[in-house]
Structure 1
Amino acid sequence: MKKVFQLLFIISITITFIGCGVYSFTGGNTGNAKTIQVDFFPNQAPIIEPTLSQRFTQDLQDLFTRQTNLTLVSNGGELHFEGEIVDYRITPMSATANQTAAQNRLTIVINVRYTNNLEEKDNFEKQFSFYHDYGASEQLTGSVLEAALDEILERITQDIFNASVAKW
């Protein structure tokens, strides 16, 4: 009788692990994919921030390698991301009594083409954007720029992850 219970326990544990095998703890479903390719995202915005292309590409690669079990490859990936940075703009957001800006907003827009070579129905091309507000008396350099890019790129990369493998 003891062996029957041990056998049932082992079978139930095995079924549980097999049933949950394609899902990660972060909610991403990579299906049968084993590899991911993230191409360099060139900056084609009217205003060029020199480090933005490299930083965004690296952040997107890091997110997928941290939150999935996919292997990053330079070509032939089963999941493939490509695109370009299409907008980087600073706009005044609120005015003071002196008709000057009290706050500015940095907005970044990235066009993404996602190809799932195993599930063609999951393919898409869409734009992702986010913004960061900062005081008009601050210069968008140094720590202000770093904080803005941290917030914007974290949100955009997470939105891309959600749209591609989390299906949110």
Structure 2
Amino acid sequence: MKGTFVGYILLAALMVFTIQGCGVKYSLSGGSIPEGMNTYSVEIFENISPFVSATLSQQFTEGLKERIRTQSKLSQVNQDGDAMFSGVITNYAITPAAVEAGVDRAALNRLSITVKVKYVNRKDESGESDFEESFTQFKEFRGEVSTQESSLNSEIVKMLTEDVFNKAFNNW
């Protein structure tokens, strides 16, 4: 039993030394930031959806900045960061998710948000890590959206910014 424990420690140490030699900085906060990347910039994500939520553009933009700031060691700059994020909110929709028998309203509704994100890694000359991709998340709710819209948007923005962060820095 004691020998197995020592074996695990040696294996962990070997993995750490191997990872350190790969040219990538690894962070325990969830992201792997490429060597030499120090800054990021996030342009305002304009809401071009047919149905517009007044604060969603700012909420998503600030949410993405906050996600990167808290989960990496990168410094935010206003433009031309080593990692650059831009894009638009392409869909903001409320659709019925489940109907209620004998009633003209949905028993359960779904709020969906889609963002199209362009990511450019200026430290990767090959452009292999760059992407332009749409991300969609949703939350289901009961009742009127007007009483829950702010909290639903916050929850969906958290999921979307996690998806974008993981795609950019974890290639998920």
TM-score by length of 1: 0.84
Instruction: Note if 1:125 corresponds to 2:129.
Output: no
Distance in 2 separating the partners of 1:68 and 1:155: 17
Alignment-derived partner of residue 29 in structure 2: 26
* Partner deviation per Cα, 1:65-86 (whole Å, 9 max, x = no partner): 1110101001111100000000
Output the amino acid matched with 1:51.
T
Equivalent of 1:73, from 70, 73, 77?
77
Alignment-derived partner of residue 107 in structure 2: 102
SS at the partner of 1:121?
coil
Between Structure 1 and Structure 2, how many residues are aligned? 151
Residue pairs, 1:40-55, within 5 angstroms = 40-55=44-59
SS at the partner of 1:83?
strand
Q: Which stretches in structure 1 are left out of the alignment for 5+ residues?
A: 1-11
Alignment-derived partner of residue 6 in structure 2: none
SS at the partner of 1:69?
coil
Structure showing greater radius of gyration is 1
Distance in 2 separating the partners of 1:93 and 1:76: 42
Aligned CA-pair RMSD: 1.9
TM-score by length of 2: 0.82
SS at the partner of 1:61?
helix
Alignment-derived partner of residue 165 in structure 2: 161
Q: Which runs of 4+ in 1 moved over 6 A?
A: none
Distance in 2 separating the partners of 1:49 and 1:151: 15
Aligned-residue sequence identity (percent) comes to 32
Q: Which stretches in structure 2 are left out of the alignment for 5+ residues?
A: 1-12
Equivalent of 1:139, from 128, 137, 144?
144
Distance in 2 separating the partners of 1:139 and 1:79: 39
* Partner deviation per Cα, 1:4-51 (whole Å, 9 max, x = no partner): xxxxxxxx9xx96x9288111123111120000100000000001000
